Amino acid sequence: MVHYDVIIIGAGSAGVPATREIAKSGLSVLCLDSKPSPGQGDNKHAIGGLRATHSQKSKIKVCLRSLEILSTWEEKHGENIDWVQGGYLFVAYREKEKKIFQETVTFQKKQGLDIAWLEADEVKALVPGINGNGLLGGTFSPQDGNASSLLTNHVFYTSALEHGADFKFKEPVKDLIISRGEVQSVTTTKGTYNADFVINAAGAHAQYIANMAGIIVPVIPDMHEAGITEPVKRFFNPMIVDIRPKTNEIFGNSKNYYFYQNHLGQIIFCITPDPPMYGLSTEETSMFLPQVAQRMVDLLPSLANLKVRRTWRGRYPSTPDASPIVGPVTGLDGFFNLIGFGGQGLMLGPGLGELSSRFVNQKLTKEDKEVLEEFSLYREFNKEELLK
């Protein structure tokens, strides 16, 4: 039977960067996926937002590292990932959000984030035409940005291959063989492979893989829809995030929504339905368009006549507190979870790929241990991240 140091289940936003880092460290690694090529799970549904602007220490640290990797990728490797450093702007129209943002800014700065509170006039200068009615200001973090999720996944994939990683596609994992409290091997529809470590990076299907290992993980996929418009001349840079909940008796309620203008001038947008739509379907409905249209035009009236070109639906592999589950499992040697990324897998993947490599190489730093503590499967899950 073929033996690998590490097998990673899932060639997505998390699994591919981890495969690359582990191969780069010199270990033998196999990444398995049921799809025909990398990044074809929820990775390709991401709208490309990359931020370190979070309210939790570990997320900030990990995403700062991801931003460092992605913002310098083209310079270091000569490969384009459509990286644009446009920043993130969280807008406040109510005292409630203003208070949350201003309190969070102090904490974020302490963690090394480049972020500032902007007064309403400064926000208006940053986004020409933004609705000034009731605008109280917002936070702006200039080092955040966006990139293509498919290009990003692809460069990690080709780099992993160059470092000697093996990938097998169209090979769904069917079972894990466990003996004496240790994962021994992975069985797919085509074969069985031995490994010292198995990493569960199966995204929306993380629970199924965990079940094969006899464990329960609180990862519940909920469906989100997104869309892209025709291009217009670029007139604003940041990802604009509005976390106010909105009621809409006809089209349904929503929580936060966010959009940015990409390098081609197209507006890319996404909204969080309220209540969440749990499930695995990727069949888009466009039902969310009237919700988004209303909110987007309200915030930026000049977008009123833009035509939407395409919409799609994907899943957030969500946890109850909106933070991922990363780390080993008590009583089961050789098994590591890299799951539960919600709407943030693209931005957390590269930083956590490096951490996963340090874990299997037994080279964890003090900071890594703190991250694993915050992302532990055994935490309380009772404190939702404020900027999820």
Ligand X SMILES: Cc1cc2nc3c(=O)[nH]c(=O)nc-3n(C[C@H](O)[C@H](O)[C@H](O)COP(=O)(O)OP(=O)(O)OC[C@H]3O[C@@H](n4cnc5c(N)ncnc54)[C@H](O)[C@@H]3O)c2cc1C
Question: What does the binding site for ligand X look like in residue numbers (CB under 6 A)?
Answer: 9-15, 32-35, 40-43, 45-49, 172-173, 201-205, 224, 226, 270, 314-317, 339, 341-347
Nearer to ligand X, 314 or 327 (CB): 314
| Per-residue tokens: 61 | 């640290």
CB of 387 to ligand X, least distance (A): 13
Using the minimum distance from each CB to ligand X, give the nearer residue, 126 or 212: 212
Kindly tell me the number of DSSP H helices and DSSP E strands found in the chain. Answer: 10, 18
149/312 Cα distance (integer angstroms):
14
Least CB distance to ligand X at residue 209 (A):
6
Q: Could you tell me if 68 and 354 are in contact, meaning their C-beta atoms sit under 8 angstroms apart? A: no
- Is 145 within 8 Å of 67 (Cβ atoms)? yes
206-242 burial, b at 16+ Cβ within 10 Å, e below that, comes to bbebbebbebebbbbbbbbbbbbbeebeeebbbbbbb
Q: Which is nearer to ligand X, 137 or 314 (CB)?
A: 314
Token look-up 């899950």 returns 381
Q: Which is nearer to ligand X, 34 or 56 (CB)?
A: 34
* Residues in a beta bridge with 141: 88
CB of 168 to ligand X, least distance (A): 9
Distance of CA 77 to the CA centre of its chain: 23
> Tokens for 74?
């083209």
Question: At its nearest, how many Å lie between ligand X and the CB of residue 252?
Answer: 16
Report the C-alpha gap between 143 and 115 in whole angstroms: 8
* CB of 127 or CB of 150, closer to ligand X: 150
- Angle at CA of residue 218, ends 145 and 381, nearest 5°: 75
Minimum Å gap between C-beta 213 and ligand X is 12
H or E segment and range at residue 95: helix 95-110
Nearer to ligand X, 334 or 342 (CB): 342
Q: Least CB distance from residue 246 to ligand X, whole Å? A: 18
Kindly state the helix (H) or strand (E) to which residue 64 belongs, with its residue range. Answer: helix 57-71
Amino acid at 263: H
What is the closest distance, in whole angstroms, from the C-beta atom of residue 383 to ligand X in the complex? 20
DSSP character at residue 306: P
- Min dist CB 226 to ligand X, Å, is 4
Residue closest to ligand X when measured from CB atoms: 12
Nearer residue to ligand X within complex by CB, 24 or 59: 59
| Residue 203 or 351 having the CB closest to ligand X | 203
Strand partners, 139: 90, 117
